[in-house]
Structure 1
């Protein structure tokens, strides 16, 4: 073993030492097909054999040889189309009549279509530049499940961000959706041509703007206007609170406070007003977005509620929900249930936000459900004879104080 190590050390950097045998080459091909990066491929090879002398250059060379061999005289489009057929993708394209060059390419996997048909309510659309060597904008469309997991629906390469290209893309999208199951909420960045086309092709959908995109633009356009980082941090915190305003009254109050606190930073205030608030506040401020169901905060999985029953969810009101509702949805119902005590008879203090945004019961509905449950127990007690009343009281006492149980341990054998 020592002589082998010395030999490998002496050959380090030599092309012979980095030659990949058949087993390593097959592993490289498999990992390359799964889009594993060269440095990660090298790491795996080194991990399998600590004396492996393969270099990163050898990995790149082997990958290049594999791609040349795979292409075998075919054009890039021919190779792409064969791969799409192999993996059963839905593919649509349009090309220039004279040159036959591709001007738009729509791609969607069958599994993505199945997910879309199951969860068509919320879509996220984002068009980005500089994602490929052809400099074609890439429109990515994702869906959102009721437990806030995202999934890819399709991707569309477009020649330019023109309205007619977006029309073509959304027509292809609608072709894989059921007519009676179209999106009701669509989230985008402020791509005006795309927003216009969405209004025409999804007229019943509510359009929202991505808050991350907006905050990024506020950062780029406003941070340099503040001479001290502490003042900027206070400004951006006030801006975030403004976005999260739960009512129009709260929004107006917080906006007035910002205008007072940062009156000397008129350019920043003018920017957020003219560019975002005056035109689009109803598309990203909570006071307006909370009136539409968009599943923003449900993140846990349904599978978790099937395998885990948290102590809090053992309450009677969750009896029919355990195993059928995601744990985060149960948590939200529990939080709303705990608000019942603080609300008292004032049902108007509820705001109904959880009903609008997630389709879950609000505090007054939970109050009514609890009242009905109690009334049912009281009626059962009043309609029972003396012996049955004693049994009911005994059960209620055991529920209230398990230590008072009348149960006996089994006999020792």
Structure 2
């Protein structure tokens, strides 16, 4: 169901949406059916043909500028694809089961030509893989104050010590962008960004078991020597550079959650139409009708908030508050909808025969990732009240 009211999705995005939806149904889910229920990656013989087709469709490295080999989608296009890329079992975290490749951390495009050529472009091609490390055991929602990892200048190098945690893909990447303090504590101007090779002496990783199958990592830096040529921007400019990218990822991140919930709702609707209890189908029970109606209404509202944030970003308007509103609404709505879908399926809803229980676990994490709901509510409140605390 796609009602847009006064705002109509441009034709190019409708075509994009339909092409991705068809690709998911005909290719991705067919390949995914050949791996176990909680898998988070496809073997090469299944993944490579999908990636070849995605490249041919112009859907490779979705958020990477075209000049570097990516699809170059704007925010609205990215949101549309991110929602459709959720329409598979592992799509909540591994979009389209990995068919669209991976964008390197966006901040690499703020680097030098040498850094882009050595790390950014090979990552777009799929020859390398990078991670992005801000959060630490001391916290992640307030990096200006929470970052304690320290990089001390030593001639032409820096000596990095510290720990990063909850870092996606760190242990399976060959490089990362790490934020560390080069100035005084609590000072936004005292944070710098560094490229760190995973095989650099002094770097180690620990996988963190969580409720989803795709685990984050802890990264340890012990007297890790980094050449100054690996610093992105000037010393102390890390947070300033980072701020250019903050909030952008929340838009496709949230759209993807909505896509997961929408797909779950479609499965539940089909089940409600076919399942007979007490002499009639579930679809004829008012309690089920209301669950389905509430879910569709909430998803449509959440989707429009994502589109509003994407539109603001594409138009060069302030979008941080809009992205916070969309993120809270979208992730919380998605969790509620999938919970209702499990209820509609009853006992089947919590089995491994369906992806619902997996999505339930994964969507719970989405209310924490990319900033917890409470922080985004604080952003909205401060904007309305004009306060800083």
Structure 1 or 2: more helix by fraction? 1
Q: What is the TM-score of this pair, normalised by structure 1?
A: 0.21
Q: What is the TM-score of this pair, normalised by structure 2?
A: 0.22
